[in-house]
Amino acid sequence: MRSYVILIAFGFAVSYLLTPIVRSVGERYTVGQKVRARDQHKSPIVKFGGVAIIASFLAGLALASQLRFFNGIFSNPEPIIGIVLAMLLILVLGLADDLFDLRWYVKLAAQITVGLIISTHGILIQSLPVGSWEIDYKWLQILVTVFLIVLTMNAINFSDGLDGLAAGLAAIGAATFFVYSYILATHVSAEDYANVGALLCSLLLGACLGFLPHNFNPANIFMGETGVLAIGLVLSVSAIAVTGDVRGLEAQRFRNIPAYMPMLLPMVIVFLPVLDLVLSVFRRLANKRSPFSPDAKHIHHKMLAQGHSVRRAVILLYIWAGTIAVTVVSIAFIPVELVWPIAVLVFFGVALATWKPLVVERWSALRVKFGKKSSGKLP
């Protein structure tokens, strides 16, 4: 655990110190930039924060390669090389999109290329860790792997609409997945429990925590396309890597509901963004628009419309994501009968806080309506 703590602290320091430098350099590119109708800020803000996140991640990866604890992971450098190449492609793609606003099909093609880089460097979903469900065909393994990577990257992209939202959700997701991967690794091998999923999530956690103080409302820098794609890549690759650990573990407690964790966790962590993604696609297609066209009708926009402040909306979405993720992970290690009562109470409390402004508004409207009707004079 000490090695992971070192990586988290190192990633935090690099990201925190590097972000102001990136902002200072990026300010020269925001001159004359127009604020879009769907944006929540009133003046242009630098969108290159993802550069600091990727730099922190890669620096942490370099540090990990020098720590003896991770020798087993770096003994086969091919997957790590794939991750680095994919990150570099994301860096180029993200900066190009933030500067020139690329067409959606160009971005999709680049995202698929990222997935292909990862899958051709040995990080593949070779089986679904439930029973003996193996994926025998290499082309199908690649297809499923690329699909998961592209889906997760776009889900994170849809959550990047309020100050600190995407970075906070990513930190929650990385922390949750780190705990799951670490505990799972200790069950797989008591001697060498260095784990690719835990390594990647610890690096992402440090990078996002270091970036968040600069990005939380009122933000002075955004992560941009570079940041959201990098976060989506790390979460999806972590999940893919963990499928191999569950696959090799025959303990009965990991071969039932917890066996689904590697597939469920990425979607659980980004549950609200994924739901938002699906609803947005249907909404745009129903309006005869491209499913990739932007609008201001996402879940976080609706929360603002209900009367929540930006900070309150973001914190509530943090709590939603954390509650869902912790509940699902807890099922893997704690008896279900102990988890559900607590989860239900927390869900009820969060739901009450989320819809309170709407309920108060409707209640006030009803009181005004019926108050007027009952205030008429008797003949």
SS (H, E, C) the chain: CHHHHHHHHHHHHHHHHHHHHHHHHHHHHCCCCCCCCCCCCCCCCCCCHHHHHHHHHHHHHHHHCCCHHHHHHHCCCHHHHHHHHHHHHHHHHHHHHHHHCCCHHHHHHHHHHHHHHHHCCCCCCCEECCCCEECCCHHHHHHHHHHHHHHHHHHHHHHCCCCCHHHHHHHHHHHHHHHHHHHHHHHHCCCCCCCHHHHHHHHHHHHHHHHHHHHCCCCCCCCHHHHHHHHHHHHHHHHHHHHHHHHCCCCHHHCCHHHHHHHHHHHHHCHHHHHHHHHHHHHHHHCCCCCCCCCCCCHHHHHHHHCCCHHHHHHHHHHHHHHHHHHHHHHHHCCHHHHHHHHHHHHHHHHHHHHHHHHHHHHHHHHHHHHHHHCCCCC
Contact (Cβ atoms closer than 8 angstroms) between residue 232 and residue 166: no
- List the binding residues: 157
Q: Which residue type sits at 50?
A: G
Residue 91: count of CB within 10 angstroms of its CB: 18
Distance of CA 151 to the CA centre of its chain: 11
pLDDT tens digits along 145-169: 999 899 888 878 877 767 888 899 8
Over range 324-349, report the average pLDDT.
83
Please give the annotated binding residues for Mg(2+), written as ranges.
157
Dihedral sign (CA 355, 361, 363, 366): negative
pLDDT given for residue 201 in this prediction: 93
pLDDT of residue 129: 54
Tell me the average pLDDT across 130-151: 82
What does the mean pLDDT of the chain come to? 80
For 41-61, b/e burial (b = at least 16 CB within 10 A) is: eeeebbbbbbbbbbbbbbbbb
Q: What is the pLDDT of residue 274?
A: 60
Tell me what pLDDT residue 326 has. Answer: 82
Q: What's the pLDDT at 379?
A: 46
Whether the bond into 294 is cis, omega within 30 of 0: no
| Whole-number pLDDT of residue 303 | 64
Distances (CA, A) of 262 to 121, 165, 271, 296, 336: 20, 23, 14, 32, 18
CB 15 within 8 A of CB 210: yes
**Can you tell me which residue has the tokens 């009803």?**
366
- Per-residue pLDDT tens over the stretch 213-235: 999 988 899 999 999 999 999 98
What is the model's pLDDT at position 233? 94
For residue range 37-62, list pLDDT tens digits in order: 555 556 778 999 999 999 999 999 99
Question: Does the pLDDT value for residue 300 go beyond 80?
Answer: no
What are the backbone dihedrals phi and psi of residue 217, each rounded to the nearest 5 degrees, phi first?
-60, 130
Q: Report the distance separating Cα 137 and Cα 116, nearest Å.
A: 16
